[in-house]
Amino acid sequence: MAEATENTRKKSQVADVDRSLYDFKMSEEGYERYADGLSTDIVRAISEKKDEPEWMLEMRLKALAVYEEMEMPANWGPSIERLDLNHISAYVSPKTKQADSWDDVPEDIKNTFERLGIPEAERESLAGVGAQYDSEIVYHNMRAEVADQGVIYTTIEDALHDPELEPIVHEYFGKLIPMRDHKFAALHYAVWSGGSFVYVPEGITLPYPLQSYFRLNAQGAGQFEHTLIIVEPGADLHFIEGCSAPKYYEANLHAGAVELYVKDHAKLRYSTIENWSKNMFNLNTKRATVGADSIMEWVSGSFGSHVSYLYPTTYLQGARSSCEFTGITFAGATQDLDTGCKVILNGPDTTASVDTKSISKDGGINTFRSSVIVGRRADRARATVSCASLMLDDISRSDTIPAMDVRNGSASVGHEATIGRISDDTILYLMSRGCSEGEARTMVVNGEGAIG
Amino acid sequence: MRDMQERGIMSDQLLTISGLSAGTEDKPILHDISLSVGAGETHVLMGPNGAGKSTLGHVIMGDPVFQVSSGSITFDGADVTELGPDKRSLAGIFLSYQAPVEVPGVPLYSFLRTICQMRPELKTTARKFRTRVGEIAEQLEIDQNFLTRELNVGFSGGEKKKIEMMQLLLLRPKLAILDETDSGLDVDALSIVSRGIEAYRQECDGALLMITHNTRILERLTVDRTHVMVRGNLVAEGPASLIDDIDAHGFARFEEALPQKAEA
């Protein structure tokens, strides 16, 4: 009987995310790797290597001072105690120059991205691709017809070396996410490396998405890429961000920053598929500001990392602008994912719609935080937040923490949360009607998924 | 009605439990239970609250909360002791729960369709199935609107029991264990549920194991055997007349007769 009980008691048959796709490591031979921890020397060395303008070095040094002065976030979200910043290398780079042809990318790095399907996706469905390997972008290319329209898709480093683009970067970089935002924002500005600079000129609609893929291969390293996107009036862009890393025992850190400027009558869709390994601390900051009659769409899939703190934030500044946030998170064993989103409705007749689903299993923890703030000027603003959480067994957890701050009497804000747990009793009930355990769980998951 | 002789020639029992002891991880509940139910027979399992009657029902169904420490359960000629509840269900065992669970997101009708379509002997066209469900709904006075609602979600106790009867009539099991199906029902609901049980006996010629401590639901049934359980032990077995005896005198004499040591 012992065996039969074991069989029928198996906690769940909903498969984990297949990580075999991401769990391969490449040698770090020939790497340039800076000493672990942080110091003025390291910050200066990064800046010097990038041959940056003086203002950027000053910004880095100031950020380092802010970082050292600020406290670690306490009483907030999952524990980050295991993250020892003295054992994280801020800069790790493969010794290669950025290429615009995959043939010029070193073999093992090229293989990495081949296995992740990036060149194939580029050929078939993307307007441009940037690929970052540890601290540096190793490949960047865009279709000629897109470049001909004046679209710029490059690295921040290259933009800083371009006399036409440098003033634009200077104008926008670090303005939406201030370095004092939180300790990891300060850290980011001190040691940022890699990422993307995208500029879509007025009235241009990109026929295909641009995609940046971030791969962290080195053990005990940090990835601090900065993404800066400017969508000028009447322009339309879909940007895709993908992230993955092989699994190591030591903690890795991702503290990127994403700043998105969407001007009037424009549209930006920002999609993220995050599949970090389960030793990753993903402390990422993303923010968008949206002009009049414009649309900001977030599609956010969080499947990996050990601990995540991720709350993309949207400022709806212009009248009639809107934000749509669609998120799905999946937390399995050893994962504690604290995700959500924040929308600040400042313009009149602005609308925000947040729709998230989370699944936790095998002891995984999902916390969904939403924050909706309606400003005084935001007459007739409307916001709805809906959040469905499902726990696949009795040992997993899911929490929903909605916050609302409405300062305009004509605004309407709604929140709806459904939390479901597949209890052992439910599984027994469905099994005693003939469903296998897998069928029983699928039935409930599909049912839950269909609600609302 | 079949006479005793006809039943006598069926040498093989439908359900045979022999020397069964079971319980949860830290607590033994059932002690050395032996019991047989022949095809088409109606058995009643009685006993005071907490005697272990429901546990026996759950153990026969294969609830993994309970572990069998010794003994075996044979159903329809096969040893099912090691099988999960799904396999036992497909073999023809049905348990009507005392408190059926609510399953959000799963519409009743598609649930019924799914559990029938997975059985080769019940597979049918969507149209025929719809007709059959309609008939049963009428028979059990179930509002058609319930069919599109989520399974048992927000249903009253009586409605949930009717839905259990509906599944019983659709699935046509060889053995139905009805766990306190009568508890908490008002007179009308009780009469409808009784009608469902009768229909099952007539249409499906199925065997019944009724778990109850109330004799009212038994009035309209012809009972073949009565079993009495006290503190996890079967202490008496007899003909239908045993029910009247219990009705008149309660379980006191059975409880007194069971030596305390048997409680283990």
* Residue A415, both tokens: 């929140």
Residues of A in contact with B118 (CB under 8 A): 434-435, 439
The span from the CA of A34 to the CA of A37, in Å, is 9
| Residue A13, pLDDT score | 52
| Residue A15, pLDDT score | 67
| Residue A33, pLDDT score | 83
Show the domain range for B215. Answer: 4-263
Closest Cα of chain B to A419: distance in Å?
10
Q: Is B100–A429 a contact, with Cβ atoms under 8 angstroms apart? A: yes
The C-alpha angle with vertex B53 and arms to B48 and B55, in degrees rounded to 5, equals 135
Sign of the alpha-carbon dihedral angle for A98, A100, A103, A104: negative
Residue carrying the six token digits 């009980």: A5
* Residue B157, both tokens: 């106790």
| Residue B263, pLDDT score | 45
CB B38 within 8 A of CB B14: yes
Q: Say which of A1, A429, A449 has its CB closest to residue B67.
A: A1
* Residue B219, both tokens: 């009035």
Helix, strand and coil content of chain B, in percent to the nearest 5, comes to 40, 25, 35
Q: Say which of A5, A7, A447 has its CB closest to residue B106.
A: A447
Q: Is B105–A5 a contact, with Cβ atoms under 8 angstroms apart? A: no
CB B212 within 8 A of CB B13: no
Nearest CA in chain B to A443: B106
The C-alpha angle with vertex B260 and arms to B257 and B264, in degrees rounded to 5, equals 135
Surface of B (77-116) touching A: CB under 8 A: 81-86, 88-90, 94-95, 97, 100-101, 103-107, 111, 114-115
Q: Say which of B61, B88, B104 has its CB closest to residue A448.
A: B104
Test the A interface: residue of B60, B63, B75, B103 with most A CBs within 10 Å = B103
Q: What is the DSSP letter of B64?
A: T
Residues of A in contact with B90 (CB under 8 A): 434
Q: What is the DSSP letter of B122?
A: G
Residues 6+ apart with CB under 8 A from A94: A30, A31, A32, A106, A109, A133, A134, A136, A138
The span from the CA of B121 to the CA of B136, in Å, is 18
Q: What is the DSSP letter of A328?
A: E
What is the radius of gyration, based on Cα positions, of chain B? Answer: 18
The 10 Å Cβ neighbour count of residue A30 is 9
The C-alpha angle with vertex B195 and arms to B193 and B197, in degrees rounded to 5, equals 75
CATH code assigned at B12: 3.40.50.300
Q: Is B101–A425 a contact, with Cβ atoms under 8 angstroms apart? A: yes
The span from the CA of B217 to the CA of B197, in Å, is 10
Residue carrying the six token digits 């396999």: B87
Sign of the alpha-carbon dihedral angle for A302, A305, A306, A309: negative
Q: Say which of B67, B86, B105 has its CB closest to residue A431.
A: B86
Q: Is A447–B150 a contact, with Cβ atoms under 8 angstroms apart? A: yes
pLDDT in tens, chain A (452 residues): 333 333 333 434 566 777 777 777 777 776 788 888 889 999 999 999 999 999 999 999 999 999 999 988 777 788 888 888 888 888 888 777 788 888 888 888 888 888 888 888 888 878 888 888 888 888 888 888 889 999 999 999 999 999 999 999 999 999 999 999 999 999 999 999 999 999 999 999 998 899 988 888 788 888 999 999 999 999 999 999 988 887 777 788 999 999 999 999 999 999 998 888 888 999 999 999 999 999 999 999 998 999 999 999 999 999 999 999 999 999 999 999 999 999 999 999 999 999 999 999 999 999 999 999 999 999 999 999 988 888 988 899 998 888 989 999 999 988 887 777 788 899 999 999 999 988 888 888 776 544 33
Q: Say which of A428, A434, A437 has its CB closest to residue B63.
A: A428
Q: Say which of A5, A420, A447 has its CB closest to residue B64.
A: A5
Chain A CB within 8 Å of residue B194 CB: no
Q: What is the DSSP letter of B30?
A: E
Starting at the earlier edge strand, list the strands of the sheet with B67-75. Answer: B27-37, B15-24, B67-75, B78-79
Chain B CB within 8 Å of residue A7 CB: yes
What region, left, alpha or beta, does residue A119 occupy, with left being phi > 0 and alpha being psi -120 to 50 degrees? alpha
Chain B CB within 8 Å of residue A10 CB: no
| Residue B29, pLDDT score | 96
Count of pairs with CB atoms under 8 A, one residue in A, one in B: 92
Q: Say which of B85, B105, B150 has its CB closest to residue A432.
A: B85
Q: Say which of A9, A430, A446 has its CB closest to residue B64.
A: A9
The span from the CA of A97 to the CA of A104, in Å, is 9
- ipTM value: 0.92
* Count of structural domains, chain B: 1
DSSP-based three-state secondary structure for A402 = strand
pLDDT in tens, chain B (264 residues): 344 444 433 447 999 999 999 999 889 999 999 999 999 999 999 999 899 999 999 999 999 999 999 999 999 999 999 999 999 999 999 999 999 999 888 899 999 999 999 999 999 999 999 999 999 999 999 999 999 999 999 999 999 999 999 999 999 999 999 999 888 888 888 899 999 999 999 888 899 999 987 777 787 788 999 999 999 999 999 999 999 888 888 888 888 888 765 444
Chain B CB within 8 Å of residue A8 CB: yes
Chain B CB within 8 Å of residue A449 CB: yes
| Residue A79, pLDDT score | 87
Surface of A (373-432) touching B: CB under 8 A: 418, 420, 423-426, 428-432
Cross-strand pairs, B234: B229
CB hemisphere CA count around B78 (13 angstroms):
9
CB A448 within 8 A of CB A440: no
Total residue length of chain B: 264
Phi, psi of B38 (to 5 degrees): -85, 160
* Host H or E run for residue A315: strand A313-316
Alpha helices in A178-217 (DSSP H): 183-191
* Host H or E run for residue A123: helix A118-125
The span from the CA of B201 to the CA of B205, in Å, is 5
Test the B interface: residue of A394, A424, A427, A432 with most B CBs within 10 Å = A432
Short-list A339, A267, A347, A285, CA closest to A315: A347
The span from the CA of A219 to the CA of A180, in Å, is 28
Chain A CB within 8 Å of residue B184 CB: no
Q: Is A444–B106 a contact, with Cβ atoms under 8 angstroms apart? A: yes
Starting at the earlier edge strand, list the strands of the sheet with B207-211. Answer: B93-96, B175-179, B207-211, B42-46, B225-230, B233-238
The span from the CA of A72 to the CA of A68, in Å, is 10
Residues of B in contact with A429 (CB under 8 A): 97, 100-101, 103
